Amino acid sequence: MRVVFLDRASLKAQVRKPAFAAEYIEYAKTAVGEIVPRLSGAAVAIINKVPMRADTLQQLPQLKMIAVAATGYDVVDVEYCQQHGIAVANIRNYAVHTVPEHAFAMILALRRNLLSYRQDVEAGVWNKSEQFCCLTHDIGDLHGATLGIIGEGAIGQATAAIGRAFGMRVLFADHPPPKMAGVVFTSHDEVLAQSDVVSLHCPLLPATRNLIDMSAFRKMKRNALLINTARGGLVDEAALIQALDAGLIAGAGFDVLTVEPPTDGHPLLDLRRPNFILTPHVAWASDGAMQFLADQLIDNIDAWASGNPQHLVTSLG
C-alpha cells in the first residue's frame, strides 16, 4: 500500500514508516490543488491541517484511511468518510501535560500582570519609585479563585488538576452528550458568571463555533480571564476585542486563531496591550508531546492495517 504524508513539516519529530507500507512518501506541505495528484493511488493519507473535503475525497476512490496528526479533525469531512468506508483516526491524550502547562503560563502571566510590570521595568518606572517595590498594577492570586473549564476531556481534566493544586475551585461547564463519566457539571451560564478564569478545551464543532460571543462576555466577571488553547473558531474574535476595549473582562490568552496562519492585518495580531497574550499555536508542541504524537500516528495506521483499528472518529461497519 502507498502511504502519503501531505504536510510533514507541521510535525517536528521522528516519524517511522508504517510497518505494512510498500511505499511511503512525505511532502513538507501541500496546497489544496496538489492534494488529488499527490494522493493518486494512495490507500492512506496522513494530514495535519490539509483539508479533506467531499469534493476532494470524491476524486480519491482508492483512499481507505485518513490518519490525522492532531486531536482536532475539523479539516476532514467525517460524514462523507463514514458514508464511503474511509476510516479516520486522530491522536488521543498526547498533549495532556503540555497544553495545560501553556494555559497556566498565560494564566499566571495575566493574573499577576507580568507583562505590565515588565513594561514598567523597561520604561524606568521602578527606578523612580519612592519605595523598594513598584505597585503600579493589581496582582491576583490563583488560590481561592474559580477556574471554569469548557471541555472535560483529558486536557480539560489535566488543566483542572493543575488548578486544584494551586488551590482553585474548579467548575466544568455542562453541555449536550457525550459527557465524561463522574464529572460534576455546572450550567454553562453559571460557569461564565462565577469563574475568575475561563479556559477552553473543547473541540470545534458547528455547535461550539463562536461559543464565546458578546453575549458570553457580558455574563463574565469584569476581572475574569479567557484562555483559549483549543480552537480559534470557539471565540468570536471581533467580540473579544470589543470585550477587552470595554473592560468586560480583565484579559485573555490565546494560542489559536480562526485562520492560521493569520494574514497581515488580522486584528488580533495588531492588539498591543499587556492584558492580551497571543502565541502561535504552540501549546501542543513540546518535544515530548510531538514525539508521542508521531508514534501514536503510525500506531494508528498499523493498527488499522492489521484489522484492529484504534482511535477512529468514524463508525465503520
Catalytic residues: 231, 260, 281
Q: Return the H-helix or E-strand segment holding 116.
A: helix 114-122
What distance in Å separates the CA atoms of residue 209 and residue 207, rounded to the nearest whole number?
Answer: 6
What distance in Å separates the CA atoms of residue 33 and residue 308, rounded to the nearest whole number?
Answer: 33
List strands edge to edge, sheet with 44-47: 23-26, 2-5, 44-47, 65-68, 87-89
Query: Residue 189: what are its φ and ψ, rounded to 5°?
Result: -65, -35
Helices assigned H by DSSP within 166-204 = 188-194
**Cell, residue 94:** 498526547
Query: Residue 120: what are its φ and ψ, rounded to 5°?
Result: -65, -45
User: Distance of CA 77 to CAs 89, 103, 203, Å?
Assistant: 13, 29, 15
Specify whether the CB–CB gap between 3 and 39 falls below 8 A.
no
Measured CA angle at 28 (ends 22, 30), to 5 deg: 95
Cα 54 to chain centroid, rounded: 24
What distance in Å separates the CA atoms of residue 16 and residue 293, rounded to the nearest whole number?
Answer: 12
* β partners of residue 186: 173
What distance in Å separates the CA atoms of residue 309 and residue 205, rounded to the nearest whole number?
Answer: 24
